[in-house]
Amino acid sequence: MSATSDYETILFDIAEGVATVTLNRPDKLNSFTGQMRSELRDALKRIESDKAVRAMVLTGAGRGFCAGQDLNDRAVKPGDAPPDTGATLDQEYNPLIRRLRALELPVIAAVNGVAAGAGANLALNCDIVIAGKSAKFIQAFCKIGLIPDCGGTWMLPRLIGRQRALGLALLGDTLPAEKALEWGMIWDCVADDVLAQTANDMARHLATQPTRGLSLIKQAFNQSPTHTLDQQLDLERDLQRMAGKTEDYREGVTAFLEKRKPAFKGE
Ligand code: LHQ
């Protein structure tokens, strides 16, 4: 471990090129307080600015991944105006989601337990989602009169199709990890006791790969849903031009021709 922190609601460490962020309010199933959002934002900033970090794992402490917004923070006294949920999204959640998706390295969600509300959609905004067998996903918003946020209404129909997405959003049913895998919503579902190791092994592998190239792949996929094929072909040309100028591309081709394992530096 090469970095620890004084955060109170998350754990943060960096080892072997992998930053691991653990949401850490286990008694409340790691539901989001303002402090947790701010600490997560800060951790993402640190990851962005640390060249040694080449992959990230996001997970939860205890039996939950994240139960979404801490609803204690949203209690409204009779007669008081409710807090502006749009402002909370605009100022806090949306910048977090944008930052996570724009991170120039692969992000793995290791979903260790229930992922509800904003917690479910936080996981789905990661690049690769691996869940433990006991994990479950709940679009809990409808049960309290809200709509799926944190990109849920964008991401879900693209991942699993309109019918299943709308069903989950309107019913708020619990989707077990194995069914999420069957529906193509997540990358993999593994036994609970090997989840952390599986995610860490994958992240350590990714941290040895051509990081710049991987981030360009991520950019291409992030932009594709709103593009025509023509626009995407142009984007691929532009991103490939950038990829073709990286040191890692040079190393990849050289290593192939020399019949040796490439040593990528992420540059
Ligand atoms: C919680 C929570 C929680 C506080 C469990 N808050 N304590 C964005 C913008 C602005 C405003 C509003 O929201 C949003 C986005 C959102 O995320 S809205 C959706 C918010 N999340 C939910 O509605 C989920 C609420 N939680 C649940 O439905 C259940 O807790 C689930 C299904 C997640 C887990 O159920 P169980 O496994 O039976 O656990 P539990 O309910 O017993 O929870 C354990 C503890 O965690 C318990 O505390 P306690 O002190 O009684 O032991 C819960 O109160 C607490 N907790 N979620 N979101």
| C-alpha atoms less than 13 angstroms from C-alpha of 262 in its C-beta half-sphere | 18
Ligand 1 within 6 A of 139 CB?
no
Ligand 1 within 6 A of 70 CB?
yes
Could you tell me what percent of the chain has a pLDDT over 70?
Answer: 98
Complete edge-to-edge strand list for the sheet that includes strand 114-116: 64-66, 114-116, 136-138, 174-176
- pLDDT per residue over 5-30, tens digit each? 689 999 999 999 999 999 999 999 99
| C-alpha atoms less than 13 angstroms from C-alpha of 101 in its C-beta half-sphere | 18
The predicted model gives 221-243 an average pLDDT of 97
CATH 3.90.226.10 intervals, the chain: 4-207
Ligand 1 within 6 A of 141 CB?
yes
Which of 24, 27, 30, 31 is the pocket-test mutation for ligand 1 (most atoms within 8 Å of CB)?
31
Cα angle 94-5-130, degrees, rounded to a multiple of 5: 55
> Across the chain, what does the average pLDDT equal?
96
pLDDT of residue 75: 84
Ligand 1 within 6 A of 39 CB?
no
| C-alpha atoms less than 13 angstroms from C-alpha of 194 in its C-beta half-sphere | 7
Ligand 1 centroid–CA 137 distance in Å is: 13
- pLDDT per residue over 167-192, tens digit each? 999 999 999 999 999 999 999 999 99
Backbone φ, ψ for residue 130 (5° rounding): -120, 130
Ligand 1 centroid–CA 79 distance in Å is: 24
Query: Structurally, what CATH architecture does the domain formed by 4-207 represent?
Result: Alpha-Beta Complex (3.90)
**pTM, 2 dp:** 0.97
Ligand 1 centroid–CA 55 distance in Å is: 29
Ligand 1 centroid–CA 91 distance in Å is: 22
The domain 211-257 is placed in CATH, from the list 2.40.128, 3.40.50, 2.60.40, 1.10.12, at 1.10.12
Ligand 1 centroid–CA 118 distance in Å is: 11
Ligand 1 centroid–CA 112 distance in Å is: 16
Protein residue with its CA nearest to atom 23 in ligand 1 = 140
CATH 1.10.12 intervals, the chain: 211-257
